C-alpha cells in the first residue's frame, strides 16, 4: 500500500460506494468506503459462560477462499486489554469467563467471508460451573473466576457511627432494591478502522469517547510505544459510556489485523454482538437502612450494595466509587456506613453508562425517602427539603460541599414549576373517577459529582490547542470528544468569547491524539469544565498578545483595551487629568492598508488585528492545560475530597397506567438542573430531553433478559427503547449559580440530565398503583403483579 493511498484513509473525505453488486449470485446493497487493500475482521466467540479452552483448530477457517489469517492468543504480543486491572486477555487463551468471550480473530477480504470462516474455527471447551448472582459468587462454594477469587474490590464509607446511631433512632426504615442492566443503544455499533503505518506504527479511527484510552490500550496490547499509535475519533452517534473503555478492545483487534497483514483492517460489530459482548449499565442490589428522629431529621444511613462486574473488571471499580460516595444522595446524614462489593460473575460485562453508578443509588435513596415519609406521616417533599445539603455542609465522605450548590433552589423551582401539589390533587381526582386507568405523580432528586472521582484524578488534566489564522478564523483542538452532546459548540463559544472572534469562524477539529496531550476520558460531565477551561487558557494567551498589539495600534495603554463584539476597542479607565501623557516614543495609531480594513482611533476589528499580527510576526497559537487541585482521599474509610464540584437535579413525572394491560404512559416530565452558568440553552435543553427519554426507557421497558449469561433479547425487537410515539411533554428549567472554577461559571449536564428521571418515573407508576417500587424496570408484568396484589381493576 502506497503512502499516498494511506493518507487517503485517515483525515480526508473518502469516496463512497453506493451500488448493487452480486454476492453468491444475489444482489446486495453495498455502502462502504473505497479503501485500497481493506480487509475485514470477524470474531469467534465463546458460547459458554465459563469453560476451559482445551484446543483451537483453525485449519478449516484458513482453507476458506479469501481468508488472510486467523489469530489466537499466542499472536497477541501482550495479551491484556483490561482498562484498570490487567485481568482480561484480548483473546482468551486458557479459559473463557462469559458468553461472548473472544477466542479467535479471522481476517478476510470481505466481511461475509470473515464471518463464515469465524464460524469454522473449532474450539474444544470443557464447560465449568458458572455463577450468575453477585452475592452467590461471594460464597465459598462458588466457582472461582480469577486467581484472587470473585471479590474484585470492597469500597467503604465510614462517617460517624451509623450502627450505634441507628440503634437510638426514633424511626428506622429498611429495604432492598435491585436494578437490571441497561443497553446503551447508540446509533452505530462498536467499530474501528486500523491502518498500518511506516515504521511499525498504526493509525486508528473509530466510534469512541476516549481516544487516549484507545491509544494506551492498543499500545500496551501490541507492544508499541504510544507515539506509534495515532487515534482519531470518527463521527460518533452517541456513546453514553458504552464507548468509553470498550472501544480499546475493538481497536486493538483491528490494529492486530492491520499490523499482521500490512493492510487497513476494519472490525464492526453486528447489533446482536454488541448486545452480548459490550458493556452495560451495572446490575446492582442495594440494601438500605435509614434512621431519623420524630421530626424527620435524618440521623444515620447504613448501606450494603453489590455491583455485578461480569467476567472482567473493566471500569466496574470506578463506577462503584461513585455509587459508594453518593449513596446518600443530596441529603445530610451525620452518620454513614457504606459497604460496596464489586464482584466477578459469569454475566454480561458491566461498564460505564450515563450517570456512572449514580442512577442506581438514586433509585434506592429516593425510595427510602418515600418510605420514611410514609412511616413518619410527612409530606415527602417537605422531608426532602428538611434534609437537603447546602454549601459548606459535610457529605458522607467528609468533604464540605463546595460552592455552586443550590439544592434548595432546585427543589423549590421544581415544586413551583410543576405545581406539584396540584398535579397530585388532579391525579387523585382522576383515580377516583376511573376504574381501569390510574394516574400517578413522582418526584426525585439527585446529586452528582462533576468530573472524575479522587480515585481517578491522575486522568483529570485536559489540553487544548488554539490557532488563529491571518484572516481572523480560528482552529481549536481539544482532547475531549463530540458525541452529539454539543461539546464542540460550547468550546467554540468559549474560544470566540475569549478572543473576541466571530463564532461562525471558529472551527473545532476532530479529536486526534497527535494534536494535544493526553486529556483523559470524555466522561463524568467533565468536557465543558475541563476542555472549556483548557481552551480558555490557550485563548487567553493569544488574547494577551493581541491586546498589546491593539494598544500599540490604538495608541493607548493595554489596560484600556476592551475585547468584545468582534473588536478590540479603547475604553479609557482613568479620568483625563490622571491619564499619563503619551511620550514621543510611544507607538502611534496604525492605519492598515488592506481593502477590507476597518479601524478607527478607538476600535480595531478582530480580522484586521490578526492580519496585522501576522505582518508583525506575532505567534497566534497556544496550548492550554487545565487540571483541578489535588483531592486527598483515604480509600480505607472513604473520607476525603471526592469531587471538585457537584450538580443538583430534580424531576417530576406524570404517568397514566393501564391496569388491564399493565402499560405505563409517561405524559409529562419536568426537569430542573443546576448547571452553574448557562452557556448555550439550546444544547442544554437537548441534553435534558435525551436524558429524559433514556431514563424513561430504563424505568419502564428496557429489560435485558439473561439465561446463564446469554442475552435472550439482543436486538430492538425485544429490547424496547422508547420511540417517538412514547415521547412525553418535557419542561426544562435551569438554576444558575456560577461555579467559580468553571469556564464562565459553567458546570456539566450530560449525565445529570438522566440520573433522577428513572426514579421519578418509577415512583409515579408506583403512585398510580398504590405501591412503592423496589425493582427496575417497572415492566407491565410488574404493574399486573401490583394490581393482582391489591385488587385494583377488579
Which active-site residues does the annotation give? 322, 751
d(CA 198, CA 144): 44
For strands 51-57 and 95-96, give the pairing: antiparallel
For residues 347 and 308, is the Cβ–Cβ distance under 8 A?
yes
Q: Which burial class, exposed, middle or buried, applies to 236 when counting CB atoms under 10 A from its CB (0-12, 13-18, 19+)?
A: buried
In the three-class reduction of DSSP (H, G, I as helix; E, B as strand; rest coil), residue 422 is classed as helix
In the three-class reduction of DSSP (H, G, I as helix; E, B as strand; rest coil), residue 674 is classed as strand
DSSP secondary structure letter of residue 227: G
What is the grid cell recorded at 460?
Answer: 483529570
d(CA 748, CA 448): 10
d(CA 691, CA 719): 18
Q: What are phi and psi of 146, to 5 degrees?
A: -135, 165
d(CA 606, CA 71): 57
Cβ atoms within 10 Å of 587's Cβ, excluding its own? 14
In degrees, rounded to 5, the angle at the alpha carbon of residue 151 between the alpha carbons of residues 281 and 146 is 95
In the three-class reduction of DSSP (H, G, I as helix; E, B as strand; rest coil), residue 698 is classed as helix
Count of CA atoms in the C-beta half-sphere (13 A) of 475: 12
d(CA 430, CA 438): 7
d(CA 779, CA 663): 8
Q: Which burial class, exposed, middle or buried, applies to 680 when counting CB atoms under 10 A from its CB (0-12, 13-18, 19+)?
A: middle
Region for 109 from its dihedrals, namely left if φ exceeds 0, alpha if ψ lies in -120 to 50, beta otherwise? alpha
Starting from the edge strand earliest in sequence, which strands make up the sheet with 122-127, in order? 95-96, 51-57, 122-127
The neighbouring-strand residues paired with 746 are: 676
d(CA 653, CA 639): 35
For strands 122-127 and 51-57, give the pairing: antiparallel
What is the grid cell recorded at 698?
Answer: 430504563
For strands 462-468 and 474-478, give the pairing: antiparallel
Of residues 20, 360, 391, 434, the one with CA closest to residue 176: 360
d(CA 100, CA 281): 17
In the three-class reduction of DSSP (H, G, I as helix; E, B as strand; rest coil), residue 486 is classed as coil
What is the grid cell recorded at 781?
Answer: 408484568
Question: Residue 250: which residues within 8 A CB-CB, separation 6 or more?
Answer: 190, 191, 192, 206, 267, 269
What is the grid cell recorded at 707?
Answer: 439465561
d(CA 95, CA 53): 5
For residues 642 and 631, is the Cβ–Cβ distance under 8 A?
yes
Amino acid at each position: 500500500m502506497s503512502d499516498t493511498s494511506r493518507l487517503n484513509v485517515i483525515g480526508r473525505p473518502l469516496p463512497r460506494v453506493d451500488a448493487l453488486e452480486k454476492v453468491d449470485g444475489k444482489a446486495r446493497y453495498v455502502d462502504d468506503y473505497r479503501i485500497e487493500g481493506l480487509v475485514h475482521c470477524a470474531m469467534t466467540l465463546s458460547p459458554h459462560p465459563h469453560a476451559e479452552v482445551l484446543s483451537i483448530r483453525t485449519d478449516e477457517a484458513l482453507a476458506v477462499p479469501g481468508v488472510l489469517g486467523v489469530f489466537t492468543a499466542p499472536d497477541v504480543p501482550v495479551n491484556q486489554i483490561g482498562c484498570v486491572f490487567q485481568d482480561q486477555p484480548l483473546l482468551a487463551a486458557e479459559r473463557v469467563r462469559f458468553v461472548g468471550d473472544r477466542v479467535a480473530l479471522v481476517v478476510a477480504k470481505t466481511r461475509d467471508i470473515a464471518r463464515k470462516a469465524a464460524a469454522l474455527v473449532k474450539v474444544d471447551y470443557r464447560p465449568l460451573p458458572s455463577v450468575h448472582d453477585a452475592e452467590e459468587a461471594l460464597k465459598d462454594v462458588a466457582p472461582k473466576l480469577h486467581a484472587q477469587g470473585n471479590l474484585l474490590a470492597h469500597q467503604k464509607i465510614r462517617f460517624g457511627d451509623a450502627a450505634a446511631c441507628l440503634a437510638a433512632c426514633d424511626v428506622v426504615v429498611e429495604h432492598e432494591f435491585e436494578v437490571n442492566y441497561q443497553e446503551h443503544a447508540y446509533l452505530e455499533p462498536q467499530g474501528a478502522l486500523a491502518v498500518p503505518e511506516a515504521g511499525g506504527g498504526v493509525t486508528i479511527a473509530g466510534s469512541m469517547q476516549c481516544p487516549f484510552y484507545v491509544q494506551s490500550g492498543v499500545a500496551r496490547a501490541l507492544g508499541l510505544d504510544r507515539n506509534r499509535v495515532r487515534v482519531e475519533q470518527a463521527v460518533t452517534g452517541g456513546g453514553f459510556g458504552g464507548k468509553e473503555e470498550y472501544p480499546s478492545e475493538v481497536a486493538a483487534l483491528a490494529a492486530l489485523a492491520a499490523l499482521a497483514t500490512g493492510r487497513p483492517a476494519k472490525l464492526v460489530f453486528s447489533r446482536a454482538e454488541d448486545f452480548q459482548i459490550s458493556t452495560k449499565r451495572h446490575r446492582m442490589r442495594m440494601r438500605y437502612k435509614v434512621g431519623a428522629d420524630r421530626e424527620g431529621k435524618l440521623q444515620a444511613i447504613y448501606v450494603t450494595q453489590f455491583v455485578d462486574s461480569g467476567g472482567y473488571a473493566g471500569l466496574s471499580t470506578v463506577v462503584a466509587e461513585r455509587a459508594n460516595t453518593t449513596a446518600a444522595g443530596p441529603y445530610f446524614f451525620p452518620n454513614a456506613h457504606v459497604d460496596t462489593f464489586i464482584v466477578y460473575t459469569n454475566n454480561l460485562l458491566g461498564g460505564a453508562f450515563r450517570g456512572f453508578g449514580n442512577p442506581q443509588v438514586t433509585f434506592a435513596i429516593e425510595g427510602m425517602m418515600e418510605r420514611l415519609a410514609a412511616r413518619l406521616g410527612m409530606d415527602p417533599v417537605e422531608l426532602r427539603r428538611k434534609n437537603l445539603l447546602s454549601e459548606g455542609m459535610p457529605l458522607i465522605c467528609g468533604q464540605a460541599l463546595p460552592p455552586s450548590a443550590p439544592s434548595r433552589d432546585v427543589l423549590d423551582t421544581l415544586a413551583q414549576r410543576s405545581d406539584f401539589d396540584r398535579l397530585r390533587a388532579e391525579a387523585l381526582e382522576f383515580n377516583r373517577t376511573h376504574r381501569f386507568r390510574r394516574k400517578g405523580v413522582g418526584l426525585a432528586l439527585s446529586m452528582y459529582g462533576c468530573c472524575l472521582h479522587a480515585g481517578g484524578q491522575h486522568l483529570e488534566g485536559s489540553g487544548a490547542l488554539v490557532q488563529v489564522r491571518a484572516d481572523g478564523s480560528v482552529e481549536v483542538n481539544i482532547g475531549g470528544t463530540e458525541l452529539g452532546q454539543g461539546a464542540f459548540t460550547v468550546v467554540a463559544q468559549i474560544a470566540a468569547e475569549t478572543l473576541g472572534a466571530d463564532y461562525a469562524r471558529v472551527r473545532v477539529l476532530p479529536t486526534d491524539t497527535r494534536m494535544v496531550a493526553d486529556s483523559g476520558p470524555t466522561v463524568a460531565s467533565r468536557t465543558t469544565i475541563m476542555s472549556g477551561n483548557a481552551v480558555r487558557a490557550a485563548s487567553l494567551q493569544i488574547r494577551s498578545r493581541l491586546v498589546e498589539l491593539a494598544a500599540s495600534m490604538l495608541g493607548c495603554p493595554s489596560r484600556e483595551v476592551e475585547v468584545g463584539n468582534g473588536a478590540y476597542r479603547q475604553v479609557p479607565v482613568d479620568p483625563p487629568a490622571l491619564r499619563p501623557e503619551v511620550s514621543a516614543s510611544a507607538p502611534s495609531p496604525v492605519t492598515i492598508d488592506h481593502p477590507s480594513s476597518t479601524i478607527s482611533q478607538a476600535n480595531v476589528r478582530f480580522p484586521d488585528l490578526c492580519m496585522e499580527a501576522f505582518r508583525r510576526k506575532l505567534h497566534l497559537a497556544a496550548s492550554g492545560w487545565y487540571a483541578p487541585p489535588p483531592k486527598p482521599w483515604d480509600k480505607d474509610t472513604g473520607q476525603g475530597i471526592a469531587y471538585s464540584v457537584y450538580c443538583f437535579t430534580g424531576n417530576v413525572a406524570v404517568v397514566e397506567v393501564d391496569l388491564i394491560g399493565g402499560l405505563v404512559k409517561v405524559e409529562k416530565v419536568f426537569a430542573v438542573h443546576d448547571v452553574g452558568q448557562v452557556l448555550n440553552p439550546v444544547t442544554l435543553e437537548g441534553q435534558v430531553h435525551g436524558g429524559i427519554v433514556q431514563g424513561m426507557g430504563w424505568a419502564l421497558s428496557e429489560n435485558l433478559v439473561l439465561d446463564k449469561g446469554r442475552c435472550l433479547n439482543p436486538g430492538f425487537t425485544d429490547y424496547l427503547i422508547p420511540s417517538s410515539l412514547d415521547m412525553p411533554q418535557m419542561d426544562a428549567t435551569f438554576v444558575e449559580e456560577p461555579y467559580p472554577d468553571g469556564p464562565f461559571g459553567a458546570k456539566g449536564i450530560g449525565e445529570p440530565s438522566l440520573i433522577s428521571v428513572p426514579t421519578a418515573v418509577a415512583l409515579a407508576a408506583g403512585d398510580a398503583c398504590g405501591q412503592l417500587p423496589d425493582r427496575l424496570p417497572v415492566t407491565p408484568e410488574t404493574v399486573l403483579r401490583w394490581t393482582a396484589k391489591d385488587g385494583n381493576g377488579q
